[in-house]
A and B are shown apart, each in its own frame.
Chain A
């Protein structure tokens, strides 16, 4: 299935060179999980602090579950904050 993957902040450099506005489209297995996709980009799991699927937070306990579906957007950040 096709997913949009977005890596932000200090994770941006894990994206391939053809990424546009910090996003790439990838083909993954139907049973892919957030962590399996994150692993594919070689992002250390401990750096994947904020993991969102279509903007909704995925708790650490659900990141090895097949919660992804065709057309989803997976966005990942390290620990960030501002104000």
Chain B
């Protein structure tokens, strides 16, 4: 349904739950999900608050197309202040949770305060209650999910839950729904656990409603599905090979971050690629990939479901890991694989299973482990720290052990749970942390894809590919091919991607649709569903407004233009192989132009004129 116009507010300190109308003036300005929830957060918290203190709030939010018949319309986001970065955090997940929240009649759920004891929220349409979770605390995501389903005797409940990693303070813990879909980045699960909130369990049966023009909506969504099915990427490539199809592409173009970003190509990439996942393995003659899978309403089905060889060292005598479960996406495969120098596909899959089982971000985990491996090879971290395990790059055993320790918050896993920035600072080598604003890099080396360097440096939640994916243009030719090795034109390109993505992230749709759709395809679907005018121009304006509001939140939290940086390694140490040989990222050539096209000062602050043009407070947030 489009907006239900209902917000649930859960005060965990007091144990109270109340209902309030959605602020429709804001909905008209920020649409939903990422944009609208950020507007609420900006209004309700002090940007300088402790992310893990009771004064921070956490919002689970749907978009107006969540739960509708629009393809991929099952997304929800978690918006809060992030513990890794101290900046705005917004993490988006698929599966079936968003749809269920919407079908229960809610646009968003705002959690505030901190419960004195572990609890979980149970929602059945308009009925909502906080229930004791003492028995769930200390359990993994998978255990807690099963216990809640049994307790309510309802297999159709959808559950979002934090695991032991979040409970033990891992700063990059996510929230897992449907066992292996994740609001994975930025430590939103850590915030949830800090509130003693173990899970959110929802059953919604109210169905779809509030569509402005049902006939136009059916027409627009059907046309959108036709575009997705006829497009070679969304109709053929993604269902067949998933996001992992990128492993060989990015390695070939010399932008594969390898061994803590010391190198830009990984000799083992083909052995951990999407293609490799489909090939029979030597051990049991079966492929790693069992099947593909789709989230609610999705007509792409890029998800991977994998099975590990029962004879593999990671799962020998552990039948609990012999079944099929959430397999490797490209980002996980890169971080656990090439960034750690590990080319053992089943070992990567095992670590990925553990990330799902106990709820933490495989990107941040892999990148943090890679930094630890580099310090191990330098002799800074020794076997004294790693319980006797060889932590050299390439060690599948180290990967498996590290994941087991982080899952339970044990031993050296406590150090790895700090994230790369704090780990490297603790061991005296902050320069080895491959992070921006405290968030670990994803899978594209900006020496080989110049625009991504600017996208990372300016991303409001830290080094993230999902805030402005210029890889689409620079490497894949979507919508038009640009040269990845030049900086010219990239400031404008990054801004365009950032604004459009902010709008898409506020609809309830999946950003992967944009490999086939443009806003020309999305806007008619939103416009048919929602009150008001939702033209392409309006969507772009909303996207730009959201981007600047997030920026203003970060400014008020204490960040400045100096936080728009890249690690020195990427600015000083040239790529050694591939097409980018001899190149560093030339951020300095792009950043001034970016500030200019954004309408910001030379210090990176939105000007009064820009804020006024976008309907934001001319003085910024908290002023």
Chain B contact surface mostly: helix
The 9 A-B pairs with the shortest beta carbon distances in the complex, nearest first, are A82-B243, A79-B232, A82-B246, A81-B515, A55-B579, A21-B270, A81-B233, A80-B237, A80-B245
From B112-120, B247-255, B433-441, the one touching the partner chain is: B247-255
Task: Closest B residue to A46 by CB, please name it.
Answer: B232
Interface size on A, residues (CB 8 A): 24
Is there contact, CB below 8 Å, between B254 and A55? yes
* A-B contacts besides A78-B236, A81-B246, 10 pairs, CB < 8 Å: A8-B248, A12-B275, A49-B232, A55-B254, A57-B481, A77-B249, A78-B237, A80-B245, A83-B469, A83-B511
Q: Does B244 contact A (CB under 8 A)?
A: yes
Q: Does B478 contact A (CB under 8 A)?
A: yes
Chain A contact surface mostly: loop
Is there contact, CB below 8 Å, between A82 and B244? yes
Is there contact, CB below 8 Å, between A59 and B243? no
Min CB distance B491 to A, Å, is 21
Chain A residue numbers with a CB within 8 Å of B241 are: 9-10, 80
- In residues 468-521 of chain B, which contact A (Cβ within 8 Å)? 469, 472, 475-478, 481, 483, 511-512, 515
Q: Does B465 contact A (CB under 8 A)?
A: yes
Is there contact, CB below 8 Å, between A21 and B271? yes
Chain A residue numbers with a CB within 8 Å of B393 are: none
Is there contact, CB below 8 Å, between B252 and A10? no
Interface size on B, residues (CB 8 A): 41
Chain A residue numbers with a CB within 8 Å of B245 are: 8-9, 77, 80-82
B residues near A (Cβ < 8 Å) are 231-233, 236-238, 240-246, 248-249, 252-254, 270-271, 274-275, 302, 329-331, 465-466, 469, 472, 475-478, 481, 483, 511-512, 515, 578-579
Among candidates A50, A56, A59, A78, residue contacting B579 with C-beta atoms closer than 8 Å: A56
Q: Does A22 contact B (CB under 8 A)?
A: yes
- In residues 13-42 of chain A, which contact B (Cβ within 8 Å)? 21-22
Is there contact, CB below 8 Å, between A22 and B511? no
Task: Closest A residue to B510 by CB, please name it.
Answer: A83
Among candidates A54, A59, A80, residue contacting B249 with C-beta atoms closer than 8 Å: A80
- In residues 50-69 of chain A, which contact B (Cβ within 8 Å)? 50, 52, 54-57, 59
Min CB distance A59 to B, Å, is 7
Is there contact, CB below 8 Å, between A10 and B237? yes
Chain A residue numbers with a CB within 8 Å of B483 are: 57
Name, among A49, A56, A78, A80, the residue most crowded by chain B CB atoms within 10 Å (CB to CB): A80
Min CB distance B277 to A, Å, is 12
